[in-house]
Amino acid sequence: MNTVLYQFLVEVPTAAAIWSALLVLALTVLTVLVARPERDPAPDEPVVDPAPAADPATELADLRRYAEEVAVAAAGAAQTARRWREAWLAAQEEVDRAWTAYDEAESAARRFTGAAALPAPRTPRTPAEYAGRERWLHQAAVAAHWRGELPVERLRDVFAHRDGWDPRRHPVEQEVLLARAVRDGRRDAYRAAAGRERSAWRDAELAAEAARALAAEAYAAAERLRPARLPAQRTATATARTALAARWRPARVG
């Protein structure tokens, strides 16, 4: 009995020590495998090759091609901006002419303000008198139309005797109505010209903004192709770029 108890007390701790050592070894191996999974990649996962380094010559060629394309686009945008600016200047001149014509017509119509309050001259109301009044009205309206003072729409109204045109009125009254019609027509022409000028100015502004953006991008693309410069030289080139970009801003007057 003592022998059996002795063997049990000696062999059990030995076995426990062996199993503890095996357990510690297994945990160590498992920890290493978990901490470094990249050493044994999964068979289903594809192996990704590292990206090849970019070729400096290829990058330089791409930069040069991009700079050339942007330079061409900037030149085209500059021409477009110049054309829109010329169109805006022409529209502005048209507004000035329309305003001058309207001012003259307004002055002419104002001279008849006092005459409209006076009674019309008395004339015999005969068929011949009415025919003469109608003939005078038609001739005066046609002459005003050929001078560019009366639009064709108003001339049709005169011959159709509508919109207040009554050939039975005295020529003095007809002259006042004709002066007012000329004034109203030139006022409408001035407003239309002013609207076209505003539209042309907006188009010129958009074209100038596009030209400035492309000019700045073309300058930046050209700078990327040049070697590094001194800070003072970079400041000077930045000032030149700002002056070039500001070149395409239309200076609207008024």
Predicted pLDDT of residue 83: 94
Identify the segments of the chain with pLDDT beneath 70: 1-54, 114-124, 227-254
Residues 6+ apart with CB under 8 A from 30: none
Tell me the per-residue pLDDT of 88-112, one tens digit each, with 9 for 90 and over. Answer: 999 999 999 999 999 999 988 888 7
What pLDDT does 68 receive?
Answer: 86
34 CB-side CA count, 13 A: 6
The pLDDT of residue 2: 45
pLDDT at 8: 44
Pair of tokens at residue 194: 């002013």
Structure tokens belonging to residue 189 = 């022409």
What separation in angstroms does the CA of 66 have from each of 45, 59, 62, 71?
39, 11, 6, 8
Surface-to-core class of residue 216, CB atoms within 10 Å of its CB (0-12 exposed, 13-18 middle, 19+ buried): middle
Instruction: Look at the chain and count its residues.
Output: 254
Q: Dmax of the chain from CA atoms? A: 168
Residue 46: per-residue pLDDT: 56
The string of pLDDT tens digits covering residues 22-72 is 555 555 655 655 555 444 445 555 555 555 555 777 877 878 888 888 889
